[in-house]
Copies of this chain bind each other. A is one copy, B any other.
Amino acid sequence: MPTVGVIGLGSMGMGIALSALRAGLPVRGFDVAPDRVEAFVAAGGQGGSLDAAGDLDIAVLVTVTAAQARDVLFGAGGLAAALPAGALVIACPTMSPDDARDLAVRAGEAGLLYLDAPISGGAAKATEGALTVMASGAGAAFAAAEPVLDAVAETVFRLGDAPGAAAAMKVVNQHLAGIHIASAAEAVVFGITQGIDPAKTLEVISRCAGTSWMFENRVPHIVAGDYAPLSAVDIFVKDLGIVLEAAGAAGFSPALAETAAAAFRAAQAEGLGREDDAAVAKVFARQAGVALPGAG
C-alpha cells in the first residue's frame, strides 16, 4: 500500500483525498489553510507538513496553479528534496503544456517519477471517486499511479508517454468549457432581450441542438440567481489565459476564446471574481440593460 500525500485540500483536492482514503490507502493531507487539514483529519485522514514527507510514495498535487505546484515541489523546504528517490508526483492543476514539461523534467532530475494528470468533473465527482483524468507520462509513472487512479477516477485517458500531452488536452477542454459558459450566459441574456424567461430557455434549449454540458450545468445557477462559487470567475480568467498563452506561443489567435476571456476579465474587473463563473451573465445583462433572476 503506497502512502499518499494530497497537497492542496480545496474542493477537488479534498475529494481526491477522501476517495483515496475510502479506497483503503494511507493518506496525508497538506494545505496552507489549517482548517482544511483539520477537516480532513476529522474525516479520518492524517495531517502533515511538506518538510516531513520522507515517507510518501505518491504526492498528488491539487494546487490551483502551476506556479503553486512548482513552489510546492521546488521552493524552499519543498517536496522534491523531502520525497524519497523514485517517489511519484501526480500533477493535477490545469497548466500549459510547457509548464507540465518543465515540471516533469525537473522532477526527473530530482529522481522522481512524474505523471501529467489534469482532472475534469468537478467537486462532486472528486468526492465520489468518479473523476475523468487525462494522463500522460512514462509507463513506470502510470504503474505507480494505479492505486490512486483506481481510487479517484471513473475514466482515465492514457495520452501517451510524454508529459505535456495531457496538459494540452485539458487546456483544449478549458477552451471549450470557458467559451460554453460564456455562450450560455450570453444566450440567456439574449433570450431575455427577446422576451424569453431564462427558465424557459433552460427547459427548451437543454433538449435542442444548442445545448452543451456547461449550458445544462451552469444555466440553473443563473435561473436560481445563485452565484455561490462551485467554480469561480477567477478560475476561467486563469484557464483561458493559459489557453491564449499556449495558442499564442503556437502562432494561433483563437478569436472565440479571446472573446470569452474578455468577458470573464470584465466580470473580474467588476468585482465578481470570487462568484460562480456563471456570474459572467451579469456582465452581459448590464450591457443589454436587462435584469437577471434574483437581481435587484
CB 8 Å contact bits of A208-249 with B (1 = contact, 0 = none): 111111110100000000000000000000000001001100
The answer for the CA separation of A257 and B175 in the assembled complex, in Å, is: 16
Contact among B191, B257, B260 with A169 in the assembled complex (CB-CB below 8 Å): B191
With CB as the reference atom, state the residue of chain B lying closest to A263: B255
**Per DSSP, are chain A's interface residues mostly helix, strand or loop, or mixed?**
helix
CB 8 Å contact bits of A170-198 with B (1 = contact, 0 = none): 01111111011011101101110111100
Q: Is the CB of B208 within 8 A of A120?
A: yes
Q: Is the CB of B251 within 8 A of A210?
A: no
Chain B nearest CB from A241 CB (Å) reads 14
Which chain B residues lie closer than 8 Å to A253 at the CB level?
287
The answer for the CA separation of A190 and B250 in the assembled complex, in Å, is: 9
Chain B nearest CB from A217 CB (Å) reads 7
Q: Please give the residue numbers on chain A whose beta carbons come within 8 Å of chain B beta carbons, in ascending order.
A: 97, 120-122, 132, 134, 155, 157, 159, 165, 168-169, 171-177, 179-180, 182-184, 186-187, 189-191, 193-196, 200-201, 203-205, 207-215, 217, 243, 246-247, 250-260, 262-263, 284, 287-290
9 new A-B contacts, CB < 8 A, other than A176-B210, A212-B213, are A97-B195, A132-B207, A169-B191, A169-B204, A172-B201, A182-B256, A210-B213, A256-B263, A259-B259
